[in-house]
Structure 1
Amino acid sequence: MSHLIIAPILLPILTAIIIMLPPVHYVPNRRRLVSIVATALQLIIACCLLWETQQNGLTFYAVGDWQPPFGIILVADTLSVVMVCLTTFLALAAICYGAAGEDVRGSFFHPLFHFQIMGINGAFLTGDLFNLFVFFEVLLIASYGLLIHAGGKNKTKAAVHYVVLNLAGSAVFLFSLAILYGALGTLNIADMALKVSTLPPEDVLLVKAGGLLLLIVFSLKAAVLPLQFWLPDTYAAASPPVAALFAVMTKIGVYALLRVYTTIFGESAGPLAGLGMNWLWPFGLATIVLGAIGVMGSLDFRKVVANLVIVSVGTLVCLVAMQNTAANAAVLYYTVHSTLVTGALFLLADMIANQRGKAGDRLVSGRRVAQPVLLGSLFFAAAVTVAGLPPLSGFIGKLMILQSAVTPLQQVLLWSVVLLSSLMVLIGLSRAGSILFWRVTGSESGGDKALPLQVFAVSLLLLASPMLVVFAGPFTELSVAAAVQLEDVSQTISTILLESSVSGGAQ
């Protein structure tokens, strides 16, 4: 394996350091140029890593040549690398939007942004649970700073709740890791999967307790009911580019659930197989319903979008709980679709708010927007996509979700909840759109027109939806291949633990 696997972690760190140096830091245009170019380079590297993964299969990188299970390793498989590509693509659009003027409202917007990208990429690529905790902390610390970017009472209040809740989650995370390490003697994911499959009966309850604590932590990160209450206010209060990047944050929790409970507590885990999935399934369904109710009942557009994130999280959690190949493939496709469209909606909400005067994004009568055709078209495209209507990617994603239900009970519950929530989302978005664009007071617009860089950022994210339709065949095949690779735990163990002793891995 080449050194390419560590580039998505090193490049954001170097970019953040360069931006903070005097030649760049004191000139806003220089900060923007370095930030955008570096993020575009990260996207290119992520795509190259995906191509390399398709050629070579699952590979790992042993930092410092300390071989697993003792050293720090990064693992590149189809699932993790696609998530890195998704993160960098979303980040590129968010940084472009921020470079239109939002970034100057805080001195360290760009460095913090890149530190958060580094933490997110690391969380996707790590092959060790303790390093997953480390990368969680890195991205959370950066997110604390980004959340209060530009200041304000609402942001400070949301930040306090967000920080306290995540500190509690981090403490539980450490407790669970201590329990699992004490019982298994390792936190390397592949090595844990091997040892859980041969676990002595007297250690089963201890490992089960650690695994259930992890389930709570990841559910908190993903905002699964009843741990979702922090999300709407936090995401609604964040600056537009920050909220757009936050669209992928909940997916880290879903990714961790999928990775840990398929690899460590999957079919080969004996008495611990499917640990916690009988709890995750009903809570996932309830999360969908709660999010859909939030979409219909929210009083401002940003909270409508935040509740759309909750709907997508509930849908993904239900898929994780079903634990079959079709469901795992649907997780990847729907994650990419939902993350990009909700990121676009957070940016679009700001563009609309800026043109409605004092009404902002509140769902009340306000000034006419200055660009009704442009913003209305973008809103319509996003609404059709997120509601799952043909011919855009949401329809294909919903189709894959419905087809993944295999038992009669799953089919009845999942089909009913998903289709009903789609109808509720469509009603909620129709209500929001009619108020924002048709209930106008006065004949003049309430703000300035959107800048070209802002329109480019939103259009870039929305363009992904038709591309996911045009290339639906290859991407669904990629999703299925990622699911099959994830479920092949014996091959993962063989590659990481057995081949490393022969080849020495990469360093």
Structure 2
Amino acid sequence: MNALAGFLQAHLAVLPVLLPLATALLLLAAGDGAGSHAQPALARARWLSIGSAALGLLVALQLVADADAGGWRVYRLGDWPAPYGIALVVDRLAALMVLLTQLLALPVAVYASGGWDAHGRHFHALLHFLLMGLNGAFVTGDLFNLFVFFEVLLVASYVLLVHGQGRERFRFGVPYVVLNLAASALFLVGAALVYGAAGTLNLAHLALRVAQVAPADRALLQAGAMVLLVVFGFKAALLPLHLWLPGTYAAACAPVSALFAIMTKVGVYAILRVHGVVFGDGAGASARLVEDWLLPLALASSLLAVLGALAADTLPRLVGWLTIASVGTILAALGLFTAEGWSAGLYYMINSTLVIAALFLLSELVGAQRGEVGERLEPAGPVAQPTLLGTMLLLLAASMIGLPPLPGFVGKLMILQAAHGSAAPWLWVVVLLVGFLSLIGLARAGSMLFWAVEPRRGGGASGASPRLVAAPLALLAMIVMVAAAAGPLKRYTDAAAAQLADRAGAARAVLGPDAGAGALRPFRPGDAAGGHR
């Protein structure tokens, strides 16, 4: 038993990638319900998927506990030294993002097991391939392998988006695929430009080398960084690359949309890692390269998105627009380029991700109980569970708007307190205005769904299954816990922001104790780890 515990501890950093990969392969090998043994096979697939998601949550909790002790957990695949080999790096931020992913994965797997997974083939296998890509993107320490994990999660998302088929899903699925392929091509271009100027794609190594890039190569380096901002901005749905998201997320089935709530955060995470750390303070002439762009675009995204929410004609589209508004608020906090702003943005990101996921699940439950009107914001028959669903919508809306004592209020207050200088008035005005307009949009939706009742238009009870209701209730319970644990969580996000600023510490952990000397010397096969002596 001690040997097994030691083995798992030694390989803990790679488990968030290997566990969903192994689960997906097992699910594909076992099948998920074709032929005469459909129900037993599907039942096995459900239990395996839910069990793996629960185990992944335990792994994520252990990663967070280890990361909170300080330091970096570095896992070198094949024992090849960085930057030659692939290094997985888990710090406080990476551990937090893996935990957030797994917190969504478990209720999504439970909800899908209520019937959505039977609408098409291999839902649970695709779910775990998506988890593999998400977790890999968060723990990789290399820009090229960030691209690789992006592609893994995107390929899974392409199929999940059209799972269950339907004209609407294919209508939004085709442009989603085309646009993401274009963004992937740009990712390669940006990475190539950065490599051509700096000679490395290892993030810890890049953080050392960008400040010392020769003036003749600086324009190439900065061009690559700006191309990467376009790519990450598209993934995060940052203005003006945001219009694909509301219709796409609204068209997907509810459990897929709920899990997609974390996908926009991959773009946010990449912006923070690359433009906040690598091209942040300490990057010499390339420091804060996107500072003049990020904050204005983030505020404009948030403001424009909430106007879209006011005009939404269905609840999922409203939630899709609110997803963009919340991402804009997070990026505005990151655009302050201070540890205080980053900490506030990370705390608010936890709340917004859980709220958006719960709202997507709740949207389908409400729509299923409103008969033929479904999720459209127009009068319909009474729902079967008005008190339960109405209370859930009220609490989720309150946290999204930022009403005390829910975590949305705490996160927005932290962001406002972090604003200083000339950016402060703009940030205060936009954040408060977006909260007020979100209140109007959500109040309109709630009154239409639960008060504008026409008894002649009969509803239904197909969304009243305990298994379906349990998933958004679990997410709501997590949101309440985020509020209750605001103090410890803020201390964690404060420490995560401070750790991101420790470029030298990250370099020593990833590249070895001699990191820093000769950072620009060309790599040679006989060099020590990281190309330093």
Please indicate the TM-score interval, normalised by the length of the shorter structure. over 0.9
| In 1: Cα distance, 2:395 partner to 2:277 partner | 37
Q: Does 1:288 align with 2:302?
A: yes
Counterpart of 1:44? Answer: 58
**2:435 counterpart residue number:** 422
Residues 38, 504 of structure 1: CA spacing in aligned structure 2 closer, same or farther, 3 A cutoff?
farther
How many angstroms apart in 2 are the aligned matches of 1:499 and 1:80? 22
**SS across alignment from 1:322:** coil
2:126 corresponds to which residue? 112
SS in 1 for 2:381: strand
1:4 aligns with 2:12: yes
What displacement does 1:18 show? 1.2
1:190 aligns with 2:204: yes
Q: Do the aligned residues in 1 keep the contact of 2:254 with 2:360 (CA within 8 Å)?
A: yes
Point out where structure 1 has 5 or more consecutive residues left out of the alignment: none
**Identical residues among aligned pairs (%):** 47
CA shift at 1:7, angstroms? Answer: 0.2
Alpha carbons of 1:503 and 1:388: their partners in 2 closer, same or farther (altered >3 Å)? farther
Q: Which residue of structure 2 lines up, in the alignment, with residue 310 of structure 1?
A: 324
SS of residue in 1 equivalent to 2:14: helix
Larger relative CO (CA 8 A, sep 6+): 1 or 2? 1
Aligned pairs for 1:75-474 (under 5 A) are 75-407=89-421, 409-442=422-455, 445-448=458-461, 449-474=463-488
Q: What is the identity, as a one-letter code, of the residue corresponding to 1:472?
A: A
Q: 2:16 touches 2:59 (CA, 8 Å); kept in 1?
A: yes
- Report the Cα distance in structure 1 between the residues aligned to 2:408 and 2:400, rounded to whole angstroms: 6
- Structure 1 residues 309-329: Cα deviation after superposition (integer angstroms, max 9, x where no partner): 000111111112110011110
CA displacement, residues 419-469 of structure 1 (integer Å, 9 cap, x when unaligned): 000000000000000001111112574112511111110011111122112
Q: Shift of residue 497 of structure 1? A: 1.3
Cα RMSD, aligned residues only: 1.6
The separation in 1 between residues aligned to 2:514 and 2:350, in whole angstroms, is 32
Take 1:444 and 1:296, find their aligned partners in 2: how far apart are those partners?
A: 25
Question: How far apart, CA to CA, are the structure 1 residues paired with 2:66 and 2:407?
Answer: 26
TM-score when scaled to structure 1?
0.97
Moved more, 437-446 or 291-300: 437-446
Q: How far has the Cα of 1:394 moved from its partner?
A: 0.7
CA-to-aligned-CA distance 1:173-223 (integer Å, 9 cap, x gap) = 011111111111111011111111211111111101001000110000000
Q: TM-score under structure 2 normalisation?
A: 0.92
CA gap of 1:83–1:503, structure 2 versus 1, over 3 A, is farther
SS at match of 1:75: strand
Q: Which amino acid aligns with 1:383?
A: A
Residues 19-30 of structure 1: pairs in structure 2 closer than 5 A: 19-22=27-30, 26=38, 27-30=41-44
> Is the Cα contact below 8 Å between 1:65 and 1:504 reproduced in 2?
no
- What one-letter code is carried by the residue in structure 1 that aligns with 2:116? E
Residue 269 of structure 1: CA displacement? 0.6
Which residue identity lines up with residue 416 of structure 1 in the other structure? V
Q: CA deviation at 1:122?
A: 0.4
Mean CA deviation greater in 18-27 or 357-366: 18-27
* Cα distance in structure 1, aligned partners of 2:141 and 2:332: 24
Instruction: Give a deviation string over 1:211-249, Cα, whole Å, max 9, x none.
Output: 100011000000001000100010000000000000011
Aligned residue identity for 1:205: A
Q: Distance in 2 between matches of 1:468 and 1:375?
A: 21
Deviation at 1:276, TM superposition (A): 1.5
Between the aligned partners of 1:389 and 1:306, the Cα distance in structure 2 is 20
Does the CA-based 8 Å contact 2:68-2:492 persist in structure 1?
A: no
Cα contact 1:357–1:367 (8 A) shared by 2: yes
- Runs of 4+, deviation exceeding 4 Å: 23-26, 500-505
Displacement, 1:499? 3.5
Q: Give the match's secondary structure for 2:512.
A: helix
Alignment of 1:42-81 (within 5 A): 42-81=56-95
Corresponding residue of 1:477: 491
Aligned match of 1:15: 23
The code of the aligned residue for 2:26 comes to I
Structure 2's unaligned 5+ residue stretches are: 1-8, 516-526
Matches of 1:503 and 1:427, distance apart in 2 = 60
Count of residue correspondences: 504
Deviates more, 1:367-376 or 1:78-87: 367-376
**How far 1:22 sits from its partner (Å)?**
3.1
AA of the residue aligned to 1:323: F
